[in-house]
Each structure stands twice: as structure tokens, then as C-alpha cells.
Amino acid sequence: MINMAFKYLVDAATTYCNNVEVYVGQQPEGPFRANNDPCSIVLRLIQPISGTNRNLTGNFLHGSVRLGATSDVTGKSATSVRDHESTSEASIQSSTSSESDDEDNGTSDDKFYFGKNRCYKWSKECPKTTRTRMHNLVICLPGTKNEARNVEQCDILSAWQLLIPEDFLRIIWVNTNNKISKMQHHYKAPQPAFVSLLDMTELRAFIGLLYLSGIMKSNYENVEGLFANDGTGRDIFRTRMSLKRFLFMLTCLRFDCAATREARRANDKVAAIREVWDIFIANCQKYYTPSQNVTIDGQVRTENNGSFYLCNVFVYTSKETTNDKTLSIPTKDVLKLITPSQRANRNITVDNWFMSLELCEMKKKNLTVLGTMKQNKPQIPVEFKPHRKRHIDSTLFGHNQEKT
């Protein structure tokens, strides 16, 4: 790789410097005077790797036709220069214009696939590209960020406290105790012990038991079975709290102020959990950057493909009442979910419920999309649909500008 600052030759993998020239302008007459045109500079810098079958990467200043012929001039058998000019976009535009010209001139269907009623055209030839597109270059490295960088991999509790912080638990603790106070009036004196107010320690223990019930696949198991003392139950449940206390806390668990809920629900159907919900989603996005591939599934959430880390999610309450019909509802859902990933050069994988050609315009947001489409879409050529004459596992490709 050749850099423009000091004109040095470095190993692209290790950034080890192989050769360097200090650029001071035109030297006076003498032994140090040399030709400073870009091609001559490159030829001097690559002398240590001449004849070693290496690939040379330079920018638009160093790339030229003359360098492309260095095998004939200097004997460098496999040395080449990649020109990083945006020739791919030009090739795409030229191929697109040629396709339109062919259609106008009555070109045969041998070069194209057509959708239903010829509403969409797919080229059988792949457009030529010379470099990686800008929206395919990952600029935000995946992994933990902010305070999460300081958490050890085996420290599960510290990682959990970043996503479920103290203010999150305090909201639940305050509102649950308010509900318990109201429920206590239904019990005659002396009140049983299981209706007492809870503290933060007991709240954390209660949440831990809920986690354990999920880990043990006990979601649909009778709660009495978890607390059974005949050898069939889970001892950790019974040693932490009684069955009556567990059921009572489950009944009184609240996430918001009940006194103001109705007023908030007029504008927000998820008002009962909105405050803690927003805290959790904000923390999910605050402490982790997803990898280059994210997935949107049927539960209307985005998650990192490799780690299944939740990146964004919203609750689907009902059909929209807006009159905006420019985009379909699945497309609007996708655009809402990918808000944190915009301009981050990520690939979005969706199923056939969300997939449409509308989403293929995500290049404007520096995103790409991969997904399956339903057979009834008018853009699908008849050749692509299942047919008894098609060989099993056969493959067909159609191209339209940057869509495949």
C-alpha cells in the first residue's frame, strides 16, 4: 500500500514500512534530483518487492495506465495497482443505459428476465464492478462500547446491571410497593407475612427466579410444581421464598404509576411499561455495536446475527390509522427498526413478510438488504418460480442496477 503523506510503502496487513521517500518538492540539480511524477515515485518505492509477486494498492493519484504495464517495463511479473476511482458506479450507469437502449431497439428476451406483464426487467449478465462499494465498507467496528468495555467476559452480573440499572429497578420497586400497600387492606389483622412490602434485595431475587424458570423451560409448568417439597420441585425456589409470597409478588408487580396510567394510555397503548421499556432499549443500543449483519424477524425486532444481541424492538399494538400509503406496513416497520443502524454500513436480513423492492433503496441509508420474496410479487420472473422442468438445486440470477 502506498500513502500520500511521506510517500512510503507499507505492508497492508501489518502496516510495516518497507520503503519511504520524504517529499520536499523539486530537488536542485545533483545526485538527489529525481522525477516526481506519481508513476516514477511508485516505481522507486516498489524496488524492494520487485519480482516477488505482490499486489500493490494505491489511490487515484498513483494509479495509471503506465503502471498497469509495469510487467513489460521493469520486469515485475505480478505487480499491479488498483485504482480507487469510482469506476463501478460509472459501469453500473452505462450498463443501465445500455439495457434501456436494448429494450427500445427491440432486443430479444435472451438477455433479460421479465416480471409479470413485463413490469420489471432483470438482466442475465452481472454488472461489472472494480471495487467494494462504499456502503459495504464497515466503518463502525462491532463489539462492546462505553462502560461495557470494562466488564470482564465472565462477570455476568456487571453486564446485566448495565442493561438493567438501578433506576430501572427502582421504578419497579416503588410502583410494586404502592400496589402491595393497596392489597394489604384486603387482609385482616394480623396480616400474613407474604403481604409485606419488598426491598431491592428481594426484588432482585424475584427477578432471578423468573430467569431460572425460563432457563429450566418451566414457562408452562404449574408453579406449585416448582415449589414442591416431595423431591420433584426446584429447591432454589423454595429456599428463597414461599409459594404464596412468589404468587403475591407476581400479582402486585407494576412498572408504572397506576394513578396517571389512563391519561398516558390515551396517547400510548403501552403506557404501562413505556418508561422501563425505553430505558432497556436505550441501554441495549448504548453498550453494544452490532456486526455487519443484522436480522429482522417476525417478532418485529432487530438482532445481531452472530450473538443474537437485541438491537432494537417495538411493540406492535394495532394497525396504523395514518393515511400515508406511500410505503407498505412491513417496509415502515423495517425503516423504524433500522434507525440505530443508519449510516453504519450494515446488511439487513429479512424474511418474505418484510422483503420488497422498496427496501432495496436502503443504499441511501448506507445499508444493504438480503431476503426472500413471495412468489406473487409482480417483479418475480416466471423463470424463477418452481417448475417441473427446472433441475433440482439449479440457480438463476437476475440483475437490475444494484439489485440481484
d(CA 113, CA 119): 11
Q: What is the separation of C-alpha 128 from the centre of its chain, rounded to a whole number of angstroms?
A: 27
Tell me the β-bridge partners of 313: 301
Neighbouring CB atoms inside 10 A of 359's CB total 23
C-alpha cell at 272: 404501562
Does residue 290 have a cis bond before it (omega within 30 degrees)?
no
Phi-psi region for residue 176, left (φ > 0), alpha (ψ -120 to 50) or beta?
alpha
Phi-psi region for residue 243, left (φ > 0), alpha (ψ -120 to 50) or beta?
alpha
According to DSSP, residue 269 is labeled T
Please give the C-alpha separations between residue 362 and each of 125, 273, 312, in angstroms, as whole numbers: 23, 32, 18
According to DSSP, residue 345 is labeled -
Neighbouring CB atoms inside 10 A of 253's CB total 17
d(CA 12, CA 249): 60
C-alpha cell at 41: 515515485
Q: Which amino acid, one-letter code, is at 24? A: V
Q: What is the separation of C-alpha 39 from the centre of its chain, rounded to a whole number of angstroms?
A: 41
d(CA 103, CA 94): 14
Considering only CA atoms, give the Rg of the chain. Answer: 32
d(CA 72, CA 75): 6
Which residues neighbour 216 within 8 Å (Cβ) at sequence distance 6 or greater? 234
Q: Whole-model pTM?
A: 0.64
Q: Each residue's pLDDT tens digit in the chain (404 positions)?
A: 444 445 666 666 666 777 777 766 666 776 667 777 777 777 877 778 777 777 777 765 555 545 554 443 333 333 333 333 333 444 434 444 444 444 444 445 678 777 777 777 777 777 777 666 655 666 667 778 889 889 888 889 999 999 999 999 999 999 999 999 999 988 888 889 999 999 999 999 999 999 999 999 988 889 999 999 998 889 999 999 999 999 999 999 999 999 999 999 988 888 999 999 999 999 988 998 887 778 887 665 666 666 788 888 888 777 665 566 777 777 788 878 877 776 667 777 888 787 777 777 766 677 778 778 888 877 778 778 777 888 888 888 887 777 77
Which residues neighbour 240 within 8 Å (Cβ) at sequence distance 6 or greater? 205, 208, 209
Which residues neighbour 250 within 8 Å (Cβ) at sequence distance 6 or greater? none
Q: Which amino acid, one-letter code, is at 365? A: K
